[in-house]
Every structure is written in structure tokens, then in C-alpha cells.
Amino acid sequence: MSDAPHPSRRLDDTVHQRVRLGILAVLAEADRADFTYLREQLGLTDGNLSRHLQVLEDAGYLRLRRSFEGRRPRTWVSATRDGRAALAAEVAALRQLIARLDG
């Protein structure tokens, strides 16, 4: 029997949640995305998205930057280096889990 920890133990609770995984997936392919874009891509309400962004920001996985375009406020979101690394680790753990369960 292998001494390696089960891949499910490498899943990060902060990232593993479906919406937060989706937020980091979007930001993995972009330098930044705005709040409205994320809300529409993930099919969320403003309040729900805000809560998940707050969790990821508190974990140091996201940076939020608020700006104005004319009089219209706009929030841009970008992943930090830690956020990108956390997504990569999560995807690797999921792949290992599938391989282990399939094997």
C-alpha cells in the first residue's frame, strides 16, 4: 500500500468550492476580469459573487481594484501568483483523484 497521502487530502477547501474554482478558472486565462463578467459567466447574484470574492481575497488568491469609468464604478478582479498556484494544485489533485479512482 502506498504511503502517499490520498489526493483528496490535497484539495484546498477555499479553492475546491465550485464557484470559487470557477472564478479562479476564469482568471487563469486573463490578466483581469470585471465583476459583471464574472457574475454573468458563473450565473451568480451580486451578493453571492461578492461573498466568494471576499473569501478568495482574504486567502490572498485575488486582488480587487475599484475604478470609475465616467461616473460608473467598476471592479476589476485579478488572480495573485498564489491564486494561480492554488488553481494549478487543485486541478492536479483532481486529476490524481480521477486516475486513482479509475485505476
Partner 1 sequence: MRPEEATQALREVDALRRHTLSERRSTWFPLVLFGVLALGAAVACEVGDERTVALYWAVAGPAGGIATGAYAWRRSLRVGVASSPLPYLVTAVAIVVGASLAGALSTGSARTTAPYLVVAVGYLVFAWLDRHPLAAVTAVAVLAAAVAVVATGPAHGCAILSATFGLAFAATGLALRERARR
Residue 31 binds partner 1, judged by CB under 8 A = yes
Distance (Å) of CA 4 to CA 1, 31, 57, 85: 9, 35, 31, 21
Residue 9 binds partner 1, judged by CB under 8 A = no
Do 103 and 59 meet the contact criterion of CB atoms below 8 Å apart?
no
Instruction: Give the Cα separation of 55 and 58 in Å (integer).
Output: 5
- Which one, 23 or 55, has the nearer CB to partner 1? 23
Question: Is 75 in a helix, a strand, or coil?
Answer: strand
Residues from 58 through 87 that contact partner 1 (CB under 8 A): 69, 87
Least CB distance to partner 1 at residue 46 (A)? 14
Q: How many residues bind partner 1 (CB under 8 A)?
A: 26
- Which one, 30 or 85, has the nearer CB to partner 1? 30
